[in-house]
């Protein structure tokens, strides 16, 4: 089975901090994605990547950046965390027909 | 714009059958998929339809009509563990998926 691992299950950070969310997949997939999930808003795409060093903006990229230096690792960066970035963050790696998600990181910015 | 519409909540009785509908309007279409998410967990892939018709996987079936931009997930012999949120999702160009806002399924004993 494809495994997508997110490094932290819960995080609490202060406003203005730089935050790194890490995601690793073990199936040599080229495509990886970062979503955030909020009540009533569903899953919204932040950034995605088709290959090493390649990145594309999703629907809500503002306030975020990403890094893909190795194929298996896709990092989401909050340059200066704000309270409106408190959310559940989900990383995914793609199969031809669907995604495998990591277990999610619940980030709280105080 | 691109949109997927599905009911926000559905309630059914244990042992019964329930259908969750999804209509979509997207700029591209490669297929319709369904995901299940339990509280506190991550979405897990259930099914994928690229062609019209019904796909069956155990108690779950998924249907697609591309001409109607419509699909549904059918859950049979409902069990309490099926209480979860269910998301429909459309695969658009470049392996990108757009998700609906999810349907919360409540199951009564």
Q: How far apart are the first and last CA of chain B?
A: 40
**Binary contact (B42, A102; C-beta < 8 A):** yes
Say if residues B30 and B91 touch (Cβ distance below 8 Å).
yes
pLDDT computed for residue B98 by the predictor: 87
B51 touching A, CB under 8 A? no
Secondary structure of chain B in HEC code, one letter for each residue: CCEEECCCEEEEECCCCEEEEEEEECCCCCEEEEEEECCCCCCEEEEEECCCEEEEECCEEEEEECCCCEEEEEECCCCHHHCEEEEEEEEEHHHEEEECCCEEEEEEC
* One pLDDT digit (tens) per residue for chain A, 110 residues: 668 999 889 999 999 999 999 999 998 888 999 999 998 888 999 999 988 999 999 989 999 999 999 999 999 999 999 999 999 999 999 876 678 899 999 999 99
Distance from CA of B15 to the nearest CA of A (A): 28
CA proximity to B74, closest of B89, B66, B86, B65: B86
Question: B-chain residues within 8 Å CB-CB of A23?
Answer: none
Q: What pLDDT score was predicted for residue A1?
A: 65
Distance from CA of A60 to the nearest CA of B (A): 13
* Residue A85 structure tokens: 């970035």
Instruction: Give how far B109 is from chain A: nearest CA, Å.
Output: 26
Q: Does B25 touch chain A (CB under 8 A)?
A: no
CB B50 to CB A101 under 8 A?
no
**Mean pLDDT within B75-100:** 90
pLDDT of residue A30: 86
User: Residue B103 and residue B36: Cα distance in Å, rounded?
Assistant: 10
CB A107 within 8 A of CB A87: yes
């Amino acid at each position: 089975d494809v495994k997508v691992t997110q490094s932290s299950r819960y995080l609490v950070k202060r406003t203005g901090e730089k935050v790194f969310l890490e995601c690793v997949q073990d199936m040599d997939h080229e495509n990886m994605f970062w979503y955030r999930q909020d009540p009533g808003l569903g899953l919204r795409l932040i950034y995605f990547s088709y290959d090493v060093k390649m990145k594309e903006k999703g629907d809500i990229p503002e306030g975020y950046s990403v890094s893909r230096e190795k194929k298996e690792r896709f990092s989401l960066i909050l340059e200066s965390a704000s309270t409106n970035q408190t959310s559940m963050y989900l990383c995914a790696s793609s199969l031809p027909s669907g995604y495998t998600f990591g277990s999610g990181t619940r980030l709280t910015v105080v | 714009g691109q949109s997927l519409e599905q009911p926000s909540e559905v309630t059914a009785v244990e042992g019964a059958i329930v259908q969750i509908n999804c209509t979509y309007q997207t700029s591209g279409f490669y297929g319709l998929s369904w995901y299940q998410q339990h509280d506190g967990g991550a979405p897990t892939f259930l099914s994928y339809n690229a062609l019209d018709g019904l796909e069956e996987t155990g108690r779950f079936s998924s249907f697609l009509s591309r001409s109607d931009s419509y699909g549904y997930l059918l859950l049979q012999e409902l069990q309490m563990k099926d209480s979860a949120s269910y998301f429909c999702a459309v695969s658009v160009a470049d392996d990108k998926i757009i998700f609906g806002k999810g349907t919360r399924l409540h199951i009564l004993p």
